[in-house]
Amino acid sequence: MPRLLVDTAVLSGAANSLPLAWLDGLELLPFAPRDLTPQTPRAGEADALLVRTATRVDAALLAGLPRLRALATLSSGTDHLDVAALPAHGVSLHTGHGGNAVAVADWVDWALSRLPLQNRRVLIVGVGAVGTAVTQLLTAHGLDVTLCDPPRAAREADFAPLTLDEALTQGPWGAVTLHVPKVSAGPHATTNLLNRARLLQLPGAVVLNAARGGVLDEVAALELRQTGHLGGLAVDTFVGEPRPLAALLQHADLVTPHIAGHSIEGKLRVAHRAVAGLRVALHLPPAGTLATAIADVLACCDDTDLTPFAALDAANQALRAAPQQFEAIRHGHRRVEHFLRT
């Protein structure tokens, strides 16, 4: 039986991330998410590893897990993983890429419904699965959407080759929303992508970050919001999670604890994609269906917990009141997807 190192928050249900039946056929080896090292009991016996974004997997950890051959992450993003190191260790990667796209589009819809726009022009930076869902939603609302994704333009001849700096000159913008991966180096690096100089080119605009902490210069954005240069600031992902900049939590217009993609359907869809790939890599049969899992969770929920915008309003209020409860608020958040139901 293959052995799986798995986050204790997944096994306890604290992360509300997947039905344990999806892990049938695996011997489970629990680990505390921020304490996984090669010295973790039985870590060296593991054939596979299942993590959340709370666990960093780097080359040193991989070197200490000699039997490891598959890694699954309950996320769309991979900036907590040293992806480049995986092939050298013979480890396949399985993510939930795109599974939370509709949920993030809902978050953008919520944020824009709470913040006044100076005009109906929205710049979407990053047009992968999430940015595409956001584009569909905002277009359906009649907003004038412009797309900016240089890496995609480099891959696809028919995608408009618009750089961020070129896009910023085409203002004024009502809003700019970020949906890029966090990339630290190379021609399409996104660390500090929306920096002070670029924010200064957005007078009156609402800025939204539901991508990754660090793609937005949070200090500059907060300062420019407080001076009135920006028309609004909504942040879901932060530098230093789960202990973000205290002033940002208190003074941004909207703050949520990295839950833009955490609809009930979105979390299960991400988990199903990641675990399905892991099971194939380990030559295990499929275990459970996504539709059944979603139905089972919804059947146990009080409808009052599920209203998308009310749940996000509650998370915003709770995080301001108790920033030290970032993780608890994150894992306790529940809502259904709104976009596909309307």
Query: What is the Cα–Cα distance from 155 to 142, expressed in whole angstroms?
Result: 29
Cβ–Cβ contacts within 10 Å for residue 233, how many?
26
Rounded distance between C-alpha atoms, residue 83 and residue 312, angstroms? 32
Which residue matches tokens 């049938």?
Answer: 24
Let me know: does 46 contact 65? Beta carbons within 8 Å: yes
Quickly tell me which residue has 């699954």 as its tokens: 72
Given the residues 258, 273, 335, 338, the one annotated as active site: 258
**Given 94, 121, 212, 225, the catalytic residue:** 212
Q: How far apart are CA 222 and CA 44, in angstroms?
A: 45
Tokens of 187: 């021609």
Query: Is 258 a residue of the active site?
Result: yes
Structural tokens at position 166:
């070129």
Element (H, E) at 208: strand 206-209
DSSP type of residue 258: S
Of the candidates 45, 56, 69, 241, the residue annotated as catalytic is 241
Question: Does residue 212 have an active-site annotation?
Answer: yes
How far apart are alpha carbons 325 and 320 in whole angstroms? Answer: 10
141: annotated active-site residue: no
Q: Which two tokens stand for residue 217?
A: 């210069």
Helix (H, G, I), strand (E, B) or coil at 253: coil
Q: What is the largest CA-CA distance in the chain?
A: 60
As annotated, the active-site residues are 212, 241, 258
